[in-house]
Amino acid sequence: MDIVIVGSGKVGFSLAEQLAKEEHNVTVVDSDEEALHRAGDQLDVMTVRGNGVSAATLREAGVDRADLLVAATNADEVNMVCCLTAKDLGAKYTIARIRNPEYTASVAELRRNLKIDMAINPENSTAVEISRLLRFPSAANIETFCRGRVELMGFRLQEGDFLVGSPLYALPDKVKKLSLLFCAVERGGEVSIPNGSFVPKAEDKLYMVGRPDSLDQFFRQLGRYAPKVKQVFLVGGGKVSMYLATILDRMGIRLKIVERSEARCRLISERFPRVTVICGDGTDSELLESENLTASDAFVALTDRDEDNLIISLYAMQQGIKKVITKCNRQNYAGIVRSLGLDSVISPKFVTASNIVHVVRGLQNSQGSVMNSLHRIAGGGAEAMEFTVGPGTKHLGVPLKDLRLRPGVLLAVIVRKNDIIIPEGSSFLQKDDRVIIIARGGGVLDLNDIYGSEPAGGAGA
């Protein structure tokens, strides 16, 4: 697809990187020469220098033939005008980054009037992501499918867990009865898809997918069931904190926010009367201690400096807080961070780029089987996708044992009307099923991509 990205900042760059890797024709527009140079030098993209609201610049970037335009400059207004102009010039689909909380309330009208097909708000998406982690504190990560009927969770095994040391086929019956499947494992930075003979070790990060109540049950059996989070300690009062406070406040969770700027503190206090706002330096351990950090159930580090977030998260973890969530934009060092034990690291630019890549894939195969959602798990090492089986899907009605799937691909769950099926050899696909696919390394764009190259068994209807 021909894609134009306006703005080569954090989100723009990582988006361009993703899309160029997926063989799209990407053109990056920015007025800053240095940012453009970085994109042009490191990625296989074309660069156009100029202002994204100027029609001449957009035309030079080929917007008239573009299938998608993403406006991701740091100014919401520029993004909106850019989308409007691009639509006029002939862009087929437009996405604008709109993140100012003042616009959030009226985003629906804005979208309609400015002909923006989709508005993304990285801070809000990040807040939603964090709130989900807080709702299920036992898991390090959590993704939902089929409107919450299926969940995917990741957790780290510890020495002494009953799973450690015995292969998966020998698990006790009470676990086998549960409606869940171990779908991916991350060991020492390597991601693989486990089979029955896989022997889990301590420090492995296991991902499982299944019914939410089964997952809960499993955590209870593991003795790892953490009670609901009631009190959250939050450092940093930026946009993400504001969105997060809105969500958590509605859920009735008590919040304490530490923020350095007094003006910002006043704003938060004005907006959220029930929240305790502390004006001070969140990286000062004495302040954290005097504010009784240890009494909270969860700790979220949301300052705008990655380094500060990592350090105070490590401190909070050392103080014995069960659930620590860290915002860290730099992905390069994700491996190191994980090895230190910080499992819940959230990167707004990563979240945003994933969301857009998902839309792009949706646009790409709008005729074949429809991809409903896409989540990148295990630090991007694998992807979990939800598809709806369409009439174009191959091998319908053929039992799975007669089919050969591509290596590194797992058919994890079939959702048929109200039933959640963990597939066995005799299971098969039929039209209108929803399926959840786990693929190592990505590359599955269509449901038919899961089949291996050799046709095994009779070709279905």
Partner 1 sequence: MNIKLVLKLVGRVLLLEAAALSLPLLVALIYGETPYPFLLSIAIVAVVGLGLSTLPARQQFFTREGFVAVGLIWIFTGLVGALPFLFCGYFATPMDAIFESCSGFTTTGSTILTDIEALPKGILFWRAFTHWLGGMGVLVLTTAIVPKLGIRSHYLTQAETPGPVFSKLVPKQSQTSKILYAMYFALTALETLCLKIAGMPLYDAFIHAFSTAGTGGFSNRNASVGAYNSVPIDIIITVFMLLFSINFAVYFLILTQKWREALASDELRFFLAVVALATAVLTLSNLGVYSDLWESLRYTVFQVASIISTTGFGTTDFVLWPQFSQVIIILIMFCGASAGSTGGGMKCSRVLLLLRAIRREIHRITHPRSVEVVKLDGKLVSEATLHTLLVFLGAYVITVFTAALIISLDGESFAVSFSAALTCVSNVGPGLEAIGPSGNFAAFSGLSKGVMSLCMIAGRLEIFPILVLFSPSTWRRL
Q: Which parts of this chain interact with partner 1 (CB under 8 A)?
A: 2, 20, 25-27, 33, 40-47, 49
Which of 200, 155, 205, 192 has its CA nearest to residue 439? 192
Secondary structure element (H or E) that encloses residue 256, with its range? strand 254-259
- Determine what percent of the chain falls in helix, strand and coil, rounding each to the nearest 5: 35, 25, 40
Neighbouring C-alpha atoms within 13 Å toward the C-beta of 10: 13
Q: Quick one: how far is CA 65 from the chain centroid? A: 30
Q: Which is nearer to partner 1, 4 or 232 (CB)?
A: 4
Q: How far is the CB of 26 from partner 1 (least distance, A)?
A: 5
Q: How far is the CB of 110 from partner 1 (least distance, A)?
A: 30
Q: Which is nearer to partner 1, 62 or 200 (CB)?
A: 62
Query: In angstroms, rounded to a whole number, what is the distance separating the alpha carbons of residues 15 and 73?
Result: 12
Q: How far is the CB of 27 from partner 1 (least distance, A)?
A: 5
Q: How far is the CB of 74 from partner 1 (least distance, A)?
A: 22
Q: Which is nearer to partner 1, 5 or 288 (CB)?
A: 5
Q: How far is the CB of 44 from partner 1 (least distance, A)?
A: 5
Q: Which is nearer to partner 1, 53 or 193 (CB)?
A: 53
Q: How far is the CB of 25 from partner 1 (least distance, A)?
A: 4
Secondary structure element (H or E) that encloses residue 85, with its range? helix 76-89
Query: In angstroms, rounded to a whole number, what is the distance separating the alpha carbons of residues 279 and 306?
Result: 20
Secondary structure element (H or E) that encloses residue 144, with its range? strand 141-145
Q: How far is the CB of 332 from partner 1 (least distance, A)?
A: 14
Neighbouring C-alpha atoms within 13 Å toward the C-beta of 41: 6
Give residues with Cβ within 8 angstroms of 450, minimum separation 6. Answer: 405, 406, 409, 411, 437, 439, 444
Residue 300 phi, psi (nearest 5): -125, 125
Q: Which is nearer to partner 1, 13 or 428 (CB)?
A: 13
Residue 275, token pair as written in the block:
């929240």
In the block, residue with structure tokens 């080929």? 62
Q: Which is nearer to partner 1, 27 or 355 (CB)?
A: 27
Q: How far is the CB of 90 from partner 1 (least distance, A)?
A: 15
Q: How far is the CB of 61 from partner 1 (least distance, A)?
A: 10
Residue 33 falls in which region: left (phi positive, over 0), alpha (psi -120 to 50) or beta: alpha
Q: Which is nearer to partner 1, 70 or 302 (CB)?
A: 70
Q: Which is nearer to partner 1, 41 or 159 (CB)?
A: 41
User: Under a CB-based contact definition with an 8 Å cutoff, are residues 39 and 47 in contact?
Assistant: yes
Query: In angstroms, rounded to a whole number, what is the distance separating the alpha carbons of residues 389 and 371?
Result: 9
Q: How far is the CB of 36 from partner 1 (least distance, A)?
A: 10
Q: Which is nearer to partner 1, 92 or 224 (CB)?
A: 92
Query: In angstroms, rounded to a whole number, what is the distance separating the alpha carbons of residues 210 and 217?
Result: 11
Residue 433 phi, psi (nearest 5): -65, 155
Q: Which is nearer to partner 1, 33 or 307 (CB)?
A: 33
Q: Which is nearer to partner 1, 60 or 291 (CB)?
A: 60
Angle between helices 348-364 and 122-135 (to 10 degrees): 100
Q: How far is the CB of 62 from partner 1 (least distance, A)?
A: 9
Q: Which is nearer to partner 1, 68 or 229 (CB)?
A: 68
Q: How far is the CB of 64 from partner 1 (least distance, A)?
A: 11
User: Under a CB-based contact definition with an 8 Å cutoff, are residues 457 and 433 in contact?
Assistant: no
Query: In angstroms, rounded to a whole number, what is the distance separating the alpha carbons of residues 375 and 143?
Result: 7
Residue 23 phi, psi (nearest 5): 70, 25
